[in-house]
Amino acid sequence: MRKVVSLWLLAMALLVVGPAPSDAWRGGGGHGRVFISVGPAFWWGPPYPYPWYYPAPYYVYAPPPVIVQEPPAYAQVAPAPAPAPQAYWYYCPSAGAYYPTTPTCPEAWVQVPPRSE
């Protein structure tokens, strides 16, 4: 078991330390550097959110206000009532009295305009 663990640690050390001095052999300089690493990737999180993965954000604006108005009330105006016919009192000259008091009259009733007393 100890031999397996020591071989595993040696392999990990070579994988980690091996690519590190690759830039040191040329004396640095920083012109056209390329770094290629062969080994396992140790990233278990979500993918890095590069901006080209997602479209531009869509801004949602507030909806316009809606004003609910009551419909206009329509009041149908009743036509003006017809004027009442002229009221008359009926007078019996022979009895000397008016209609409700004297129910019959031997002659024709006389129409008399009402008067306030």
pLDDT in tens, 56-98: 778 889 999 999 999 888 888 888 888 887 788 899 999 889 8
| Whole-angstrom distance, CA of residue 23 vs CA of residue 29 | 9
Mean pLDDT in the chain? 78
Distance of CA 77 to the CA centre of its chain: 38
Give the whole-number percent of the chain exceeding pLDDT 90.
Answer: 15
pLDDT, one tens digit per residue, over 98-109 is 888 888 999 999
| Count of C-beta atoms within a 10 Å radius of residue 92 | 19
CB 69 within 8 A of CB 51: no
- Is the pTM here over 0.95, yes or no? no
Q: Between 95 and 44, name the one with better pLDDT.
A: 95
